[in-house]
């Protein structure tokens, strides 16, 4: 089992992994504005943790959202990320990222 850190600039490439590998992704977020990262995965990748750490102590301060994924089975999958307000449509998202994952 390997622990891999996903980087935003890796979104253009396919991530090679093996069953049991752990993938971690950290993204800036400011939930006090209503904008939160949403994630969608298929059957190969599973979200095992989703946490937020505040940076600073000012009112309305942002922070970092951390997602931890586990590779559950061989195959290909896409991790889709969208930064949006839950009450707005998906077309109102202000940022999107997608990671292709190929697991052996």
pLDDT in tens, 30-76: 988 999 999 999 999 999 999 999 987 777 789 999 999 999 999 99
pTM: 0.91
User: What pLDDT is recorded for position 60?
Assistant: 79
Share of the chain above pLDDT 90, in %: 82
3 state DSSP class of 11: helix
User: What pLDDT is recorded for position 90?
Assistant: 93
Domains of the chain: 3-103 (2.60.40.2020)
Q: Do residues 86 and 2 make contact, with C-beta atoms less than 8 angstroms apart?
A: no
- Whose tokens are 């959202």? That residue is 65
C-alpha separations of 13 from 16, 24, 28, 31, 101 in Å: 9, 16, 21, 28, 9
Q: What six digits make up the tokens of 16?
A: 């090679």
Q: Please, which residues bridge with residue 36 across strands?
A: 84
User: What pLDDT is recorded for position 9?
Assistant: 85
């Amino acid at each position: 089992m390997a622990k891999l850190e996903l980087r935003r600039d890796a979104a253009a490439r396919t991530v090679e992994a093996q069953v049991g590998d752990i993938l971690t992704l950290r993204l800036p977020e400011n939930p006090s504005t209503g904008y939160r990262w949403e994630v969608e995965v298929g059957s190969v990748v599973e979200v095992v943790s989703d946490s937020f750490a505040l940076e600073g102590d000012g009112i309305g301060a942002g922070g970092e959202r951390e997602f931890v994924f586990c590779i559950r089975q061989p195959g290909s999958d896409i991790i889709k990320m969208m930064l949006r307000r839950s009450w707005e449509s998906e077309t109102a998202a202000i940022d999107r990222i997608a990671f292709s994952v190929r697991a052996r």
